[in-house]
Chain A
């Protein structure tokens, strides 16, 4: 690892100041579970590391008209939170599929988003739940739909000096599900992740189908959504929607799976997810 200057700011403005001073050469560290791997492997050598864990504005998990997840909320907190288990069970179960408890105690939801890996498990389900990213920078606060947050692998709309403060998740009036396919049940990255949230039943009045790990960024399968909206929701329509979603996916061949295999898994999982939601589990 190359040497770096280390900062541990206690406020957002202090953090923004250091970030702007180093321009693009500083990196924030939250749980460090993505960042340190890259630094250890020599793929990243920032001039400054800014520990953001001492900034109180980034903490907290509250639920009133909506759910607010401070960027520092850990994956284990999301897995265990009684509020999330009750009102957003698919979010809690998505966190439960991730890493190990030792990593989940370090890893944060903010890190999972800002690292912007195509396979990030919380992205498909949070986008399905229509979450909004609250961002802070020199120019103040701005809000971006999480659906529009990711721009490329490892990239998001965050500009230099900007931090993700929190994620806001609207109250859910329907049902949702997250399905992850990976060869190993534990400690494995998604080959395909599918997050679905829907409202109404026979007809569906709203549905969002988000595919993870099969495109440069989490992908909304809009044509598949259209296929199942309105009218009576038959098995045939669900199967058609699953095939359409597989067509919409833009996967790559890599060590975890081929293009063909990933599309096939998308089809299987979209079908399984929609069927599960319709049958009420």
Chain B
């Protein structure tokens, strides 16, 4: 057994303290210890983006990050951006444009899009395609997702 690591995190504005095995990924701790199941596990190797969360203001793949490496950091997950009584504008735009089907990729896309719009409030189509290049979707064919992110910004 590896020695447990005492992890402190700020997740969606809440202070969290946990004892974890240092081998565990941030994704695993979010889903299984904090029961935040919005970030999904697709490939577990950095390729699909389903596990995207915002770490200290930046979109990252939480499957490729040791939770212990995030000690003291601030994490925002899809649960943190979704209002209790509705949807975030990016989520609304994805629904309105038909940029969501099965939904597996959607939480990651939402977080990647929010991080993109935060640093670049008026992206071009090229910017959006680049910002979402690490998010795979098996259902929609991307066009509607890109349109949603562009239109969500315009509205």
Contact = CB atoms under 8 A, between A and B. Distances in A.
A5 B130 contact: no
A261 interface: no
A102 B66 contact: no
Nearest to A53: B69
B49 interface: yes
Quick one: which of A32, A36, A102 has the most chain B CB within 10 A? A102
Interface in A9-45: 29, 31-33, 36-37, 40
A8 B7 CA distance: 12
Q: Which of B1, B44, B46, B47 has the most CB of A within 10 A?
A: B46
Interface stretch (B52-60, B77-85, B86-94): B52-60
Contact of B112 (A5, A49, A102): A102
A99 interface: yes
A36 B115 CA distance: 24
A38 to B, nearest CB: 11
Contact of A100 (B1, B22, B65, B133): B133
Contacts of A8: 68-69, 71
Contact of B22 (A4, A33, A103): A4
A158 B23 CA distance: 26
A32 B65 contact: yes
Nearest to B129: A186
Contacts of A6: 2-3, 5, 22, 68
Interface residues of B, number: 33
Nearest to B119: A80
A105 interface: yes
B2 A105 contact: no
A186 B130 CA distance: 8
Interface string A107-134: 0000000000000000000000000000
Interface in B99-145: 112, 115-116, 130-131, 133-135
The listed residue with most B CB atoms (<10 A of its CB), out of A5, A31, A99, A101, is: A101
A147 interface: no
B17 to A, nearest CB: 16
A53 B112 CA distance: 23
Nearest to B2: A3
Contact of B134 (A1, A96, A99): A99
A106 B133 contact: no
A144 interface: no
Given A3-B23, A5-B3, A187-B47, A101 B112 contact: yes
B22 A49 contact: yes
B91 to A, nearest CB: 19
Contact of B65 (A1, A76, A96, A106): A106
B64 interface: yes
Contacts of B45: 37, 40
A170 to B, nearest CB: 30
B59 A101 contact: yes
A51 interface: yes
Interface of B: 1-3, 5, 21-23, 25, 44-47, 49, 52, 55, 58-61, 64-66, 68-69, 71, 112, 115-116, 130-131, 133-135
Given A8-B69, A51-B69, A102-B134, 4 more contacts: A29-B69, A100-B61, A103-B46, A103-B64
21 contacts: A3-B21, A3-B23, A5-B2, A8-B69, A29-B66, A32-B65, A32-B66, A40-B44, A40-B45, A49-B66, A51-B68, A76-B58, A99-B46, A99-B134, A100-B61, A100-B135, A102-B49, A103-B64, A105-B60, A106-B64, A186-B130
